[in-house]
Amino acid sequence: MKDLRIPLPRRRHFMAAAAASWVLPVLAQPQPADKMERGSTRVAGFANAEMDYQLMRQLGTARYGGASVGECLALAQRIQNGIPASWVTEFAAAAQRQEADAQARAQRGHAVSAREQYLVACNSYRAAEYYCGVLDPEHARLGRKSRECFLAALRGQGGDVEEVFLPFGGTPLPAYYVRAPDPHNLYGRLRRRGKTLLLISGYDGTLEETWLSYGRAALERGYHLLLFTGPGQMDTLRFDPGMHFIPEYEHVGRLALDHVLARRETDPRRVALMGISFGGYFATRIAAHEPRVRALIANSPIIDLHAYMASFVGFDPALLPDAEDVRLEDIDHIPDSAIPAQTREMMRNLIVRLGQASLRGAYQHLRDFRVDDARLRRIRCPSLALVGTGEGAEPLAQSERFVRAVGGPAWRHVFTAEEGAEGHCQTGNLAYSAAVSMDWLDELFGA
């Protein structure tokens, strides 16, 4: 085996790759037994930046029923800082407890309570799925449990949700279609055609999390929804772990558009597409090939995924010399002193899901994930670029280039720290992000 003693400068780069944003988890402070206080929970920060961000991500979904702030903070004080296995253990146990509670309430006829608990359990399973190793069979099991709880939640409230599988070669792609209530559809009359929003997440988002982030907000505003996914994404890994990301997401977008435009309740003049995280690239790529998209929201607009990813590491792993490249079979032999366990798992995840053999190969493949200016000019529909000041120089620069290069009218909204929304995908203030994006779309389509 080759020497895995990674030089210190490179080691710092690899460790920095895991850092994504900010958050406020909790540490409990011991108190004297006779001291009276309103509570024992104290808010502090995880030392590990990526785990900080993941906790904020979980806390952010509380606005739409995906979590309880108190429960998340209680979990955080039991999780070991920067240790993925500890996170998985605690969130998986919480999800199992929440699911059992939901089932018990449903059996006693408490439909509302059961629905709410199923949704929380769904998101706890997702949180456990995130940090579970992508090659571990438990990863797929946790994801499928998240899906089961989500469907139990929506169907339990009488929601009009359908499981959809888009035909993609020999492997169907999972999706959800949610029909908006139609107050004018009385006595079984033909449903009026309405506005439709297609939503696609990114690298580690799921269909269920997309519902919690923007789907529910869009449904409340009267949009029919198609939550869809493609090769390499978390939802497809639950059914086919061998599927890898592909640059040509326009093939997936065509299937999604074919599906919604075949439905009689779809108004083809009011079909919008929104991409979240890596989905900002997927949606931009789709819109560049699909004139059937009548409005595009990119959060954030990623037009060069290789440059975007390299900016988080601080150098370009595609240029690593052979002696410093990290191959898939090497990862489990790298000591914590060289690269922390959390960062190693993230490296493994990226290599596997891009279908490569090493970190250098993964970043070289990412060079194919781009939308050039000529293709951007083909996007003639109105476009909205969303980005946060805390995302870094490269995402901000790509959002500016996107707005300048697209062929149709374009707007840009930059979220700030004062709003608590400056981080990646505005996880700290999802409702405000939904207000900005959905109000823009309503004004465009006519509320």
The CATH number given to whatever domain includes residue 281 is 3.40.50.1820
Crossing angle for the helix pair 84-107 and 69-76, to the nearest 10 degrees: 140
Q: How far is CA 120 from CA 15, 116, 124, 256, 361, in A?
A: 31, 6, 6, 28, 38
Residue 387, both tokens: 């980005």
Check: CB of residue 200 under 8 Å from CB of residue 274: yes
66-125 per-position pLDDT tens digit: 999 999 999 999 999 989 999 999 999 999 999 999 999 999 999 999 999 999 999 999
Give the three-state DSSP class for 235.
helix
Better pLDDT: 38 or 260: 260
In angstroms, the CA 87 to CA 124 distance is 11
Asked if residue 28 belongs to a domain, the reply is no
Range scoring the smallest mean pLDDT among 75-79, 143-147, 291-295? 75-79
Segments forming the whole domain that contains residue 433: 160-304+369-447
Asked if residue 48 belongs to a domain, the reply is no
pTM, to two decimals = 0.89
In angstroms, the CA 338 to CA 10 distance is 9
Q: Does the pLDDT at position 315 exceed 60? A: yes
Q: Does the pLDDT at position 28 exceed 70? A: no
In angstroms, the CA 220 to CA 210 distance is 15
325-378 per-position pLDDT tens digit: 999 999 999 998 898 888 899 999 999 999 999 999 999 999 999 999 999 999
Asked if residue 285 belongs to a domain, the reply is yes
- Domains in the chain: how many in total? 1
Mean pLDDT of the 198-225 span = 96
Asked if residue 136 belongs to a domain, the reply is no
In angstroms, the CA 299 to CA 437 distance is 9
Q: Does the pLDDT at position 26 exceed 80? A: no
Better pLDDT: 265 or 17: 265
Residues 6+ apart with CB under 8 A from 44: 24, 25, 26, 27
Asked if residue 447 belongs to a domain, the reply is yes
Asked if residue 248 belongs to a domain, the reply is yes
pLDDT of res. 307: 97
Cβ-based neighbour number of residue 160 at 10 Å: 14
Give the three-state DSSP class for 48.
coil
Side chain identity at 4, as an amino acid letter?
L
DSSP secondary structure string for all residues of 198-233: EEE--SS--HHHHIIIIIHHHHHTT-EEEEE--TTS
Asked if residue 72 belongs to a domain, the reply is no
In angstroms, the CA 376 to CA 410 distance is 12
Mean pLDDT of the 229-247 span = 94
Asked if residue 286 belongs to a domain, the reply is yes
Sheet with 194-200: strands ordered across: 161-166, 173-178, 224-228, 194-200, 266-276, 295-299, 383-388, 410-415
Residues 6+ apart with CB under 8 A from 109: none
